Amino acid sequence: MATDRTRWPGRWYRVRFRVARAAADAAAAIALADGGLGTEQRPAGPGRTRISAWFDDEAQARRAAERLAACGLLDGAPEGPVAVEDEGWLAASLAPREPIRAGHVLVCDRAPEQSVAPLVPVILPPGRAFGTGEHPTTRGCLELLEPEDVDGRTVLDLGCGSGILAIAAAALGARRVLALDNDPRVIDVAADNVRLNGAAARVALLAGTWSCLDPSAGFDLLMANVHRTAVVRAASVLGPRLARRRGVAIVSGFAPGELPAVAARWAEAGFAVDRETGDRDWIAVRFRITETTDAR
């Protein structure tokens, strides 16, 4: 369940649809980005998930349904919008979410009452952008994030969504983080999360993609949980800037079977797979500069 707790109208419009389990978070994120106040995911048979999304505005719900129908992820057409009474989702959304441990980070939906050391907390209230720590791609990127790759370093988070990876990098000691997302609607959510985590002095947020970057800007760590096409393109566009600083790239957003093609493009930029983690549907990979490239 993901919810924007700041808006509570008296009437709801529900849009419901079915997707492959692997695509559930991405589809829910579309509904949330299009004004959904909350979503709920339930198992719907082998490998499938049924998602309900609630809106307070019928026209917005209709637009979201149209965008969902066109996104190519759904099994058939979405149902609705249907006007509904409170179906218990509001109460459910206020229920505490169990903290998620990933690598050196503990993702919590509120500030922890006690120290979680040696982990660092990342506080993310349910929000309207992808990146709660529940999705395997986000968890995978966090698992591959090592303090020594971050401490005192400059980080680029491409496709920041909720800002979770940027906040984690700042919490692990990054000197400076630039977080980009080409969907301007998520930047406000990310900005709230960055402030909530006391990271505003070190994390800069920008609506856009690599074309916004100063050509001379270098960085030590790239985090890019986007999609296969963007990860492949990042190899040629961002790889050389990382290579100059002997940097590290942590990427995700593609299936394990796509790794050979992705790795081939990163190899052209001088990087090799250093570590990987994931499940049947998703993989996260850390690329490091190869010794041959190092010696150049």
Ligand X SMILES: C[S@@+](CC[C@H](N)C(=O)[O-])C[C@H]1O[C@@H](n2cnc3c(N)ncnc32)[C@H](O)[C@@H]1O
In the complex with ligand X, the residue whose CB is nearer, 156 or 243, is 156
Quick one: which segment of 71-79, 120-128, 161-169, 269-277 binds ligand X (CB under 6 A)? 161-169
Q: Decide whether 22 or 164 has the Cβ nearer to ligand X.
A: 164
Q: Is 180 in the site for ligand X (CB under 6 A)?
A: yes
Q: Which are the contacts of 296, defined by CB distance < 8 A and separation ≥ 6?
A: 270
Q: Is 243 in the site for ligand X (CB under 6 A)?
A: no
Q: Does 164 bind ligand X (CB under 6 A)?
A: yes
- Tell me 164's DSSP state: H
- The count of residues interacting with ligand X (CB under 6 A) is 21
Q: For the chain, where are the alpha helices, taking DSSP H only?
A: 24-33, 58-70, 89-94, 136-143, 147-150, 164-171, 184-196, 228-237, 239-244, 259-268, 291-295
In whole angstroms, give the CA distance from residue 202 to residue 2: 27
Nearer to ligand X, 64 or 226 (CB): 226
Nearest approach, Cβ of residue 87 and ligand X (Å) = 27
Strand order in the sheet with 100-102: 100-102, 105-108, 120-123
Name the region of 103 (left: φ>0; alpha: ψ -120 to 50; beta: rest). left
Does residue 138 bind ligand X (CB under 6 A)? yes
* Piece of 82-90, 174-182, 197-205, 255-263 that binds ligand X (CB under 6 A): 174-182
Sequence length of the chain is: 296
Cα 141 to Cα 251: distance, rounded to the nearest angstrom: 7
CB of 128 to ligand X, least distance (A): 11
Residue 282 as a binder of ligand X (CB under 6 A): the answer is no
When the beta carbons of 65 and 238 are compared against ligand X, the nearer one is 238
8 Å CB contact between 29 and 129: yes
Question: Would you count residue 193 as binding ligand X (CB under 6 A)?
Answer: no
**Does residue 102 interact with ligand X by CB under 6 A?**
no
Judge contact between 36 and 54, C-beta under 8 A.
Answer: yes
CA distances in angstroms from 166 to 79, 163, 174, 177, listed in the order given = 36, 5, 9, 6
**Which of 34, 149, 181, 220 is the binder for ligand X (CB under 6 A)?**
181
Among 81, 131, 136, 247, binds ligand X (CB under 6 A): 131
Q: Which residues bind ligand X (CB under 6 A)?
A: 130-131, 137-138, 141, 158-161, 164-165, 180-183, 186, 209, 225-226, 230, 253
